Structure 1
Amino acid sequence: MTQTTSLLNRRRFLLSSAALAAAPAVSLEAQRHDAAPTAPLPPAIAALKSRIGEAVPITLAEREQRFERARALMKREAMGAICITGGTSLVYFTGIRWGQSERLFAFLLPATGAPFIVCPVFEEDRVRERLDSVPDGAATKIYTWNEDDDPYALVAKALREAGVTTGTLGIEERVQFVFAERIAQACPALKVVSAIPVVSGCRSVKTPAELALMRLANSITLSVYKAAYGSAHPGMTNRQFSELIDAAYARCGVQGEASCQVGVYSALPHGSLQPQVIRENEMILIDDGCFVEGYQSDMSRSFVLGKPTDKQKRVFEIVHKAQAAAVAAARPGVECQAVDAAARSVVTAAGFGPDYAHFTHRVGHGIGMDMHEWPYLVRGNTQQLAAGMTFSDEPGIYIKGEFGVRLEDDWVVTPDGGQMFTPQSPSLEDPFGNA
C-alpha cells in the first residue's frame, strides 16, 4: 500500500535479520535462472508455467498517441513544455528506462515541435540507442554537457531554440528538487509549475493495451497466491511463505513479491519487523503484486489455515461487503471520495467506526505503471471518475492485539460502472474458491 520506486523493495525491508533465522523452505537462490533449486518446489508451485508470452508490449504507435494527448493537455493548461527526468513517466512517454543520479538527464516535450533531451556528453551514444522507442525519435535533438558545464543553462538554451521563451514550464512530480530549482533559476522568464495535470491526465486513463497488461498481472498474482496458499502449512515462517511466492512468480516468468503477516501482526496494515510463525486457526494477511511489461497488480488476501473463529468470520464478511460496496458505487462522473465513503459506511454501520478507528486507511489508490498513482479514493478528493481509470479496492478492519482483515482487488471504471479484474475472495476457509 505504500508507494515506492521498486515493488521488490516495497515491504521486504520490514523483515529483520531475526526473521531470516529459520531455514527457508525455498531458497531465494532457487529463483535465479542460473541456479538449481536447493529443495524441490511444492507441486502447486511447480505446476505453474511461464505466462510472459501472453504479454503484448506497448507499441510506438501508442506512445505517439500519448504525445498527442500530452500536447492537447499542455495547450489546455497553457504550458509551453513539460520536463521529465528518470522514472516511470519517462518510460510511459518514451520507453526509455533511465535511473536518477546527481547528473541531470532531462526529457522535454514542447506543446509544439519535436522533443529534446539534455544529458551528459558521455551518455549520448546510450541515449541514441534508445531513440527507436521514442515518438519523433529521429527528430529528437540531444543537447550534451561536459562535467564542468552548466546543464541548466543548456536546458534554457534548448527551450529557447524550441520557441519556449515565456509562459509556463511544467515539471513532472518525480523531478528532484535540486533539478527543478536550478531549471527555474536558469529560465527566469518562465513560470515553473507542476506537470501533474498533464502527466496524470494521460496516465490515469488506461487504454485497452494497458488494461490487457494489468489484467494479466492480476491473473498471474491470483494464480501465484493460490499456489502458495495450497503449499502453506502451520509451522512455516512468514518469510518462508513469502519465498514460496517469490518462487511461484519466477515460475510464471515475472518479478513480484508478497508480504505475509500472521496473527496479531495482521492488525498492522504494513506489517512488523518481528519474525512470525504460521499457526493453525490464526489470521494470515498477504499483500503485493507483480510487474508485467511495466504494469502492476496489487492484491491482498486474508485467510486462516484451520477453523476461523466467529469473530474472524464476522470481520471478514464486513470487509467483503465494504469491498463490494466500494466498486458498486463507482461510475463515470462520481467523485473519488464517494467510493471511499461507500466502503467506510459499511464498516461504521457494523460497529467498527467511526472514521479511521479500525479502517485506518483510504479505500484505494490509482494503479498502473506505479503501484500507487493518481487519483486516490479518499475523503476530500472531489475529482470525478472517468472510464478507463484503474484503482485498488482494499478496505480493512484492524483490531490491535488480535488480528486484521484486508481484501484487495484491482478494478477499472467502465462506462457502466466498476469492474474488478479478479473475483472477490469467498471466505477465510476458502480464499480462492474456483479462481
Structure 2
Amino acid sequence: MNTDDSVRADRRRFLKGSALGAAAIPLLGVGAAWASDTSAALPPSILALEPVAPRAVPITDAEREGRLRKAQQLMAEHGMDAVFMGGGSSLEYFTGMRWWVSERTTGMLLPKSGDPVYITPEFERERTLEQIAFGRKDVRTWQEFESPYALIADVLAEWHMATGTLGIEEQLRSATQFGIAAAAPHVKLVSATPVTAGCRAIKSPAELALMQLANDATLAVYHAVWKALQPGMTQQQISALVDAAYTRQGLRGDASVNVGAFTASPHGSPLPQHISEGTVIMLDDGCKVGGYQSDLTRTFVLGKASDKMKRVFDIVRRAQQAALKAAHPGATMESVDAAARKVIVDAGYGPGYKYFSHRLGHGIGMDMHEWYYLVQGNTRALETGMTFSDEPGIYLPGEFGVRLEDDMHITDDGARWFTPQSPSIEQPFG
C-alpha cells in the first residue's frame, strides 16, 4: 500500500520536467509553436479550467470522532487493548493531524475505551496541540535524549495494559515497532489492519463527495491536456501541461505519460519519448482533493488509430464494463477480476496474466493504493461504500498497450463509476 504509493510517486517525479506556473510555459519547444516564446500563454483548454479546491467540503470533527468510536469497537472485536499509529494517512483519517513519517516518533495511542493520548517530541508540543481539533488534548512528550518507546510503555502501564495486546498501524516504521517491543516486552504486538482497514475501506458520503471532486478534476485535466497536445512533444512537456492544469484548479496532481511501445509496460519507462500522430499515448495517475485521491488512465491516439488499436481498445473497454457489472455487495473480489479477465482471454489475449499482466484494481481513498485488491485469490466480499480502481489492460510487447481506468464505488444496487467510461481511442472524451 504505502510502498506502492512511494514507488509511483518517485516514478512520476523522475518522468516529470520542471513544474509550470499558472500563466506561462517555459522550456517547451519542439512541436509546440505557441511555446517558442518563454512568456507564451497556456493553451486555451488549460486556461479555461476553474478552481476546484473551494468546492471541497472538509471532513467534520464529528465524523472523525465517530471513526475513533468505530475503531474502538473493532479493537474489542479483534482482541486489542490499544492501537498505536504514527504519521501518515491513518493518523490524519482518525484525528485530522497531518504528520510525516519520521525517525522522531509522533503518533496517537488509542485505548479500547476512552480518549487517546498523543506522543510527540517536547519541541513539537505546541504544533501537536494546534492540530488536535477535538477531544481531550492529552499530549505526552519526550526529550531528544529520552526514549519515546519507554513513554509509550509507561502509558500502557498507566492503562493497566502492560501485558495487553497492542495493535500496530501498518505504516509505522519497523524501527518504532522494534523499539516498542523492547520497551514493553510483555505486550503482544499485532497488526492493526483489521481496525484501520475496517474503518477506512468503507467510505462515508462526505468521503465519496471528495473523491467525486478529485475524479472530476483529473478527468477535466486530462481532457484539457489532450486538446493541447501536438506532435513532437515529449513526455516531460506533457507532464508540465498537467502540472499547469492542476495549478489552474488549485490542486496538486501528477500524471505519468508514455508513448508508443512504452505503453506496453503497465508503468511505462523514463526513457525519452515523443508523441506523434497515429501512436498510442497513455496518461495515468491523479490528484488529491480534501485528502482524497483519484486515479484515472486514458489511452488514446492523436489522429487515426490502426484497426488493431481500435480492436484492442474495444476489448479492454468491454472488460472494464464486465468488471463494473460484476461488482456488487456480496460478490467476491476475485470474481470481479475474473469477469474482466474472461473478456480479454476470450478475445484471444490469454491465458491468464499473459497480456493482462496485473490485478484488475486496488482500493482507493486517502491513499492511491489501499485496502482491498480485486485480484485472483481474494475471496473477501464487496461491501457498500467500498471504492476501487477498475483498470483492465492489454499489453503487447514491442507494439503498444491499452489500459482504461476509472474509479468505482459500491452501492446497494451495484457499482458506479465516478467518471464516464472513455468512448473511443481516437475520441477519448467523447
Q: TM-score, normalised by structure 1?
A: 0.93
Query: Cα RMSD between the aligned structures?
Result: 1.9
The match for 1:117 is: 118
Gapped regions of structure 1 (runs ≥ 5): 21-26
Number of corresponding residues: 418
Q: Cα deviations across residues 305-347 of structure 1 (Å, max 9, x unaligned)? A: 0110010000000000000001110111111111111101111
Q: How does 1:24-423 map to 2 (within 5 A)?
A: 28-31=19-22, 38-132=39-133, 135-136=134-135, 139-423=136-420
Matches of 1:375 and 1:417, distance apart in 2: 17
In 2, distance between residues paired with 1:260 and 1:217?
Answer: 19
Q: Deviations over 1:377-426 (max 9, x none)?
A: 11111111100000000000000100000000000000111100011000
What one-letter code is carried by the residue in structure 2 that aligns with 1:88?
S
Give SS of 2:267's match: coil
> In structure 1, what residue type is equivalent to 2:76?
K
Output the CA distance in 2 between the equivalents of 1:113 and 1:188: 24
Partner of 2:29: none
Give aligned-pair identity as a percent.
Answer: 55
- For residues 236-286 of structure 1, the C-alpha deviation after alignment (integer angstroms, 9 at most, x for no partner) is 112111111111111111110111100001111111121111011010011
Residue pair 2:234, 2:272 contacting (<8 A) in 1 also:
yes
Would the aligned equivalents of 1:83 and 1:108 in 2 still touch at CA under 8 Å? yes
Q: Is the 8 A contact 1:337 1:382 kept in 2?
A: yes
Q: Cα gap change, 1:161/1:6 in structure 2, threshold over 3 Å: closer, same or farther?
A: farther
Aligned 8 A contact 2:164 2:188 in 1:
yes
Q: 1: CA distance between counterparts of 2:253 and 2:22?
A: 11
| Alpha-carbon spacing, 1:219–1:6, altered in 2? closer, same or farther (3 Å) | farther
Mark the runs of 5 or more structure 2 residues left unpaired by the alignment. 27-37
Q: For the structure 1 residues 318 and 274, does the alpha-carbon distance in structure 2 shift closer, same or farther, using more than 3 Å as the test?
A: same
Give, in whole Å, the separation in 2 of the partners of 1:46 and 1:250: 10
Amino acid of the residue matched to residue 285 of structure 2?
Answer: D
Corresponding position: 1:3 with 2:8: no
* Contact kept in structure 1, 2:20 and 2:241, CA below 8 Å: no
Helix, strand or coil at the partner of 1:28: coil
Q: Structure 2 counterpart of 1:422, which letter?
A: T
Checking the alignment, whether the CA contact within 8 Å between 2:20 and 2:240 is kept in structure 1 is no
User: Which AA in structure 2 matches 1:123?
Assistant: E
Q: 1:83-131 CA distances to partner (integer Å, 9 max, x unpaired)?
A: 0001111110111111122221121111111100111111111111111
Letter in 1 for 2:244: A
| 1:31 shift after superposition | 4.2
- Would you say the 8 A contact 1:4–1:10 is kept in 2? no
- Residues 364 and 376 in structure 1, CA contact (< 8 A), matched pair in contact too: yes
Write out the 4+ residue segments of structure 1 that deviate beyond 3 Å after TM superposition.
Answer: 5-10
Distance of aligned partners of 1:214 and 1:378 in 2 relative to their CA distance in 1, 3 Å threshold: same
Distance in structure 2 (CA, Å) of the matches to 1:215 and 1:163: 44
Task: Give 1:28 deviation, angstroms.
Answer: 2.2
Within 2, Cα distance between the matches of 1:356 and 1:157? 51
